[in-house]
Each structure stands twice: as structure tokens, then as C-alpha cells.
Amino acid sequence: MDGRLKTRQGFTLMELLIVMGLMVLLMGLAITTFTHGRAEAMRGAVINVRSALVFARQQAITQRTPTTLIVGHEEIGRSQIMRSFYAVTNGADGLVMTTNYLPDGIVFTNLATSAGRTVYSALTFRPDGSVDGDAMGHQFGMTEEYGSAQSVAFDFKVLSLTGIVKVQERVRSVQ
């Protein structure tokens, strides 16, 4: 030996394994929190849209005037970003409930009408609580825009004769 102290350069295998284990643990917690948060956002959006449907029907019955729920999505600016929205309106007072937007990444599906940069469906409740349209009722869906291999989607069905709202959850497979 030439009298110099050997200085340690780098990390030991044990130190590297401990750090990698901590990183895996933190990533697992982050992914779990993120997916749980998306599911809660989806369920909250479903509750809000169902409530808007019920509100539109009640408004038509109590005010004795046709009331329309509009669901759709529109392109925001020139960025090609789509935001889904819903609003309740009637012929007499105009907008009854403010326009509400779904959380980012959650969109309506099976919409009927296209007008420029907006795609929408309109459900008009009559004063007797029934819905304009055919006997099969109105249907539209809600799903995650950027879903994983298996994500949850919801189907809304409004029965024409009674105006009753049914919501069904389904698992959507993406290839």
C-alpha cells in the first residue's frame, strides 16, 4: 500500500436495492390513488347527470312547461380538446340550470345531433313527465375518454312514457 486511504466511489448493492424498493412502493401508492380518484370522479359525474335528468322532469311537471336537458360535448378553442357538458332549459325562462361540465377525461357517448363544433342530444320532458321521442326512450352513455384496458362506462336510459331514468354500469373492454 502506498499510504493513501481508499475512498468509496458509488453505492453498494444493498443501498441500490433499498432505494429501488422504495420507488416501487411509492409508484404503487400513486397509481392506486390516481385510479381511485378517476373512479370517484366518474361516479360523481353519473350522480350529477342523473340528478339533472330528474330535475328537468320535475321542472316540467311543476312548472307545466316543456323542459329540455341538453347533453353534449364541444370543441374548446382551436386545440381540438373536447369538453362534455349538460344544461337544463325551458322555452319560457331560458336556462333553468347553469351549464355544467364533466371532469376532464369523462365524455358522453351515443349523442344524436351535430352542429358545427358541438355534438349533443336533447331530451324534452313534457308537463305530464313523459319524454318526446319514440316508444323505446332515449339513450346515451358516459365513459372515460382515455380509459385503460378495462374501464367503467355507464348507460343512461330515459323511458318515453314515464320519463323514468335508469342508469346501468358496465365494464368496457378496450383493445
- Give per-residue pLDDT as tens, 113-168: 676 667 888 888 999 999 887 666 688 888 887 655 557 788 888 888 888 889 99
pLDDT of residue 113: 66
CA distance 72 to 171: 22
CA distance 3 to 140: 81
pLDDT of residue 79: 59
Q: Which residue segments constitute the domains of the chain, with CATH numbers given?
A: 13-173 (3.55.40.10)
**pLDDT tops 80 at residue 87:** yes
pLDDT of residue 50: 92
Q: Give the residues across from 154 on adjacent strands.
A: 142, 169
**pLDDT tops 90 at residue 5:** no
pLDDT confidence tier of residue 101, bands split at 50, 70 and 90: confident
Instruction: Work out the average pLDDT over 70-91.
Output: 78
Higher-confidence position of 159 and 97: 159
**pLDDT tops 80 at residue 75:** no
* Interior angle at CA 75, CA 70 and CA 79, nearest 5: 165
- Give per-residue pLDDT as tens, 8-53: 778 888 888 999 999 988 888 877 766 667 778 888 899 999 999 9
Q: pTM score, two decimals?
A: 0.72
pLDDT of residue 163: 87
Helices (H), ranges, the chain:
13-63
Q: What is the dihedral angle through the alpha carbons of 67, 114, 139, 135, rounded to the nearest 10 degrees?
A: 70
**pLDDT tops 80 at residue 77:** no
